[in-house]
Amino acid sequence: MIHLKSAAEIDVIARAGAIVGQVLERMVDEVAPGVSTAALDRAAEDMIREHPGAEPAFKGLYGFPASLCTSINEEVVHGIPSEHRVLESGDIVSLDLGVRLEGYYADSAVTLPVDHIEPETRRLLTITETALQVGIAEARPGGHLGDIGEAIQSLVEGDGYSVVRELVGHGVGHAAHEDPQVPNYGHAGHGRRMREGLVIAIEPMVNVGGRSIRTLSDGWTVVTADGSLSAHFEHTVAVTAEGPRILTAPPVRSAAQGGDQVG
């Protein structure tokens, strides 16, 4: 069942989203060679709890053991932070973060470079971040969810990459995951019609190689089946009469432009 949000509810989600955006902005400076993903998780949780009433939305959700999903290189999503996973120069790491505030949820993700990365890797980040932007542009009253999916899929596949299909975006607000599902593929004019007050997480997951994925034995970490690199970007977006409203403020520095220089 889809729950449309009032303007007041959207404002609360936006306050939660502003915390998400601020934390991800600050995490850009935490990502560096030699840093463990467990250290990133601790830093993110500490930053969230600096805000009165704010809590990590993912910690304990469905049994997930951490506040931050940290997915490196071929890991698509849901990587579990560990003291044994240490970032190296040339890696990319996806950080997926949710915040709960006053009973409402917001969710966002960004993929960051670790120090120097190859031009081909930077292109993956740029394409995925752009795919998110074109998907957001389609989140308008009267449109269909397929409009979002086609915009993302056309851009990604047109540039020679693949879109993960088993994992999709989703409604968000009263819970971390709500109806409707928001695929990153599809056909314009198809799918549910979007109405004012709909709040959704749009989150393209893009692979350099094939679109097939598998889940590791930890039961959480999803990786590309062929071992190719994957990137993930996400925003919580409200459908309003004025157009799409991003509720998770973007990092100050574009993730595709992070790091010192191209390796």
The candidate with the shortest Cα–Cα distance to 235, out of 16, 69, 3, 17, is 17
Q: Is the bond leading into 180 cis (omega within 30 degrees of zero)?
A: yes
Say if CB 138 and CB 183 are below 8 A apart.
Answer: no
The candidate with the shortest Cα–Cα distance to 128, out of 85, 88, 162, 91, is 162
What pLDDT is attached to residue 260? Answer: 37
Say if CB 187 and CB 143 are below 8 A apart.
Answer: no
Query: pTM for the full model?
Result: 0.94
Exposure of 242 in the CB half-sphere (CA atoms within 13 A)? 5
Phi then psi for 242, rounded to 5 degrees? -90, 0
Encode burial over 217-253: b for 16+ CB neighbours within 10 A, e otherwise: eeebbbbbeeebbbbbbbbbbbbbeeebbbbbbbbee
Question: DSSP H helical segments within the chain, as ranges?
Answer: 7-27, 37-49, 119-137, 145-158
What pLDDT is attached to residue 141? Answer: 98
d(CA 39, CA 41): 5
What does DSSP say about strands 199-202 and 169-171: parallel, antiparallel, or unpaired? antiparallel
In the predicted model, residues of the chain with pLDDT beneath 50 are 251-263
207 DSSP β-pair partners: 162, 230
What are the residue ranges spanned by the domains of the chain?
7-257
Which residue in the block uniquely carries the two structure tokens 């889809």?
Answer: 2
d(CA 79, CA 69): 5
What pLDDT is attached to residue 250? Answer: 56
What pLDDT is attached to residue 255? Answer: 42
Q: In what order do the strands lie in the sheet with 222-224?
A: 75-77, 222-224, 213-215
d(CA 103, CA 16): 10
pLDDT tens-digit readout, 233-254: 999 999 999 999 999 985 444 4
What pLDDT is attached to residue 156? Answer: 98
CATH superfamily of 7-257: Creatinase/methionine aminopeptidase superfamily (3.90.230.10)
d(CA 108, CA 234): 5
62 Cβ neighbours under 8 A, 6+ residues apart? none
